[in-house]
Amino acid sequence: MKEEKNIWIDSVMNSHVGREVLVPDSSLFDRIILQTTKVKTISLRQMGMVGIAASVLLLINVIALQNINTPTTWNASDIAYENEVQLISDYNLYGYE
């Protein structure tokens, strides 16, 4: 049984022996030449996708710029906090002038 199995495995492993060397179809070279001269084109769909992606990026950048340029508005609690900090920093803890 085991020997039979090994014989079968060996026959499978050697099944490629004696295979014929084949020649590709005679029209293949013409097809290759056609492919090499083909100019790569970008489809309208791809162009549209690129346009949309660029617009989204531009929009994000504009929004980011607007947020940076907007002046900070202070409210009462912020001013109080600022004064408090100032008050603490005015203590002359170490006797220096």
Partner 1 sequence: MSEQHHILRLIAEGNQLSFRQLYDLYNKLVYNTALSFVPNVSSAEEITQDVFTKIYRKAGSFKGGSTVKTWIFRITVNTALNQIKKNKKARTINLETCEKIDFDHPGILLENREDAVTLQRAIGSLPETQRTAFVLCYIEDLPRLEAASIMGVSLKAIESLLQRAKGNLRKKLEKLYPHRRKK
For residue 11, the minimal CB distance to partner 1 (Å) is 6
Identify which of residues 9 and 79 has a Cβ nearer to partner 1 in the complex: 9
Residue 6 region by backbone torsions, left for phi larger than 0, else alpha for psi between -120 and 50, else beta = alpha
Identify which of residues 33 and 80 has a Cβ nearer to partner 1 in the complex: 33
Chain residues binding partner 1 by CB under 8 A are 5, 8-9, 11-13, 15-25, 28-29, 31-33, 35-36
For residue 32, the minimal CB distance to partner 1 (Å) is 5
Angle at 93 between CA 91 and CA 94, to 5 degrees: 140
Q: DSSP string of 39-53? A: PP---HHHHHHHHHH
Interatomic CA distance for residues 57 and 50, integer angstroms? 11
For residue 37, the minimal CB distance to partner 1 (Å) is 10
